[in-house]
Homo-oligomer: A and B are copies of this chain.
Amino acid sequence: MPKTAKIPKATITRLSIYDRQLELLEFDGYRVVSSEKLAWLCQVNPAQVRKDLGYFGEFGIRGVGYDVIDLQARIKEILAINRTWNLAIVGVGKLGSALIQHHNFSARGFKCVAAFDNAPDKIGKRIPSGLIIQSVDQLKDTVRELEVEIGVIATPASTAQMVADFLLDAEVNAILNFSPTRIGVPECCLVENIDFTVMLDVLVYKVHHEPKEPRA
């Protein structure tokens, strides 16, 4: 179905955002939505919405708009989030355990099926979600057995690369990296980095340099 064209990564990001707004619109009882309204809600340009969707097909009705339910289904299909994906969290510190219990993950079909750490006092413990923390030595076996498709790194920077190598060895080929370092992986493995302090640095730069307009 993808019209063999190169699709900007930003388009995929926006599709995810559209999807969530559509859920809210559905909840609020809307049956149809125009590109203008959806764009406004997602803080983008209406033409952007239409172009993004245009990469994948014709989902709207001219003169009317998009069917809220139908468009949602299409987007979920495009993103491949119309099914469950199994996650394994590595690093069960404060952040790791917050992620395991993160409601937005389960609500969107991301299921934490395993948790690993290498601190002896953590291994074997049960976390509120019911999961038992395993040693990273067991990572490979468990990941394969439970068919984990995405590894989540929530360790300090110092161990991130080691963890990544473990995940690669277990043939996970998608990693969500919360550690503040760029891990090195082969081509076949896909990585997304979420780096809090980089975001803060960007924010601080902007605060410090943007023309400070007087408050309305």
Residues of A at under 8 Å CB distance from B? 2, 9, 12-13, 15-17, 19-20, 41-43, 78-81, 85, 93-95, 97-99, 101-105, 108, 110, 149-150, 156, 171, 173-176, 180-182, 184, 186-188, 190, 192, 194-210, 212-216
A20 to B: closest C-beta gap in Å: 6
* Pair A196/B104 contact, Cβ less than 8 Å: yes
Task: Say how many copies of this protein the assembly contains.
Answer: 2
The interface residues of chain B lying within 8 Å CB-to-CB of A80 are 204-205, 207-209
The interface residues of chain B lying within 8 Å CB-to-CB of A85 are 200, 204
Task: Tell me the complex Cα distance, A197–B81, Å.
Answer: 11
* Pair A176/B201 contact, Cβ less than 8 Å: no
**6 interchain pairs (CB within 8 A)?**
A9-B202, A12-B202, A13-B198, A17-B195, A78-B205, A194-B196
The interface residues of chain B lying within 8 Å CB-to-CB of A195 are 17
Task: Tell me the complex Cα distance, A99–B181, Å.
Answer: 18
The interface residues of chain B lying within 8 Å CB-to-CB of A173 are 207, 215
